[in-house]
Amino acid sequence: MLDEFDSEFESRYSCKFSRQQQDILKYLSAAQTRRLKEIAADMDTPSSSLTASMRDLTNTMTIDKPGEGRYGILDSVFRIWIARNILGNYE
């Protein structure tokens, strides 16, 4: 099923998002939801430097904040696509 979305998701991921946003999405795709401090640690950057990108991703309805301090990618198929194609996680 994911194969039919490859070109759409590839274009969306590489053209619509900044490099920092791509990295955030990459690390967010590893789980249903993650804390900002976990993402920042994976990126080896302070959480405060991600605030603008997180706000932009939330405003474009790419991610949401379902729980206190936790974020997740809204489109679960896009999340799985990123995990498979960007992280190389085929589980």
pLDDT per residue over 12-63, tens digit each?
Answer: 888 899 999 999 999 999 899 999 999 999 999 999 999 999 999 999 999 9
Lowest mean pLDDT, pick from 1-10, 21-30, 77-86 = 1-10
Name the 3-class secondary structure at 72: strand
Provide the pLDDT for residue 1.
56
d(CA 69, CA 60): 19
pLDDT over 90 (residue 8): no
Residue 61 neighbours by CB under 8 Å, 6+ apart: 74
More confident residue, 78 or 67: 78
The answer to pTM > 0.85 is yes
CB 90 within 8 A of CB 84: yes
Instruction: Specify the pLDDT at position 10.
Output: 87
Residue 34 CA, distance from chain mean position: 10
How would DSSP label each residue in 32-52?
S-EEHHHHHHHHTS-GGGGHH
8-state DSSP, 75? -
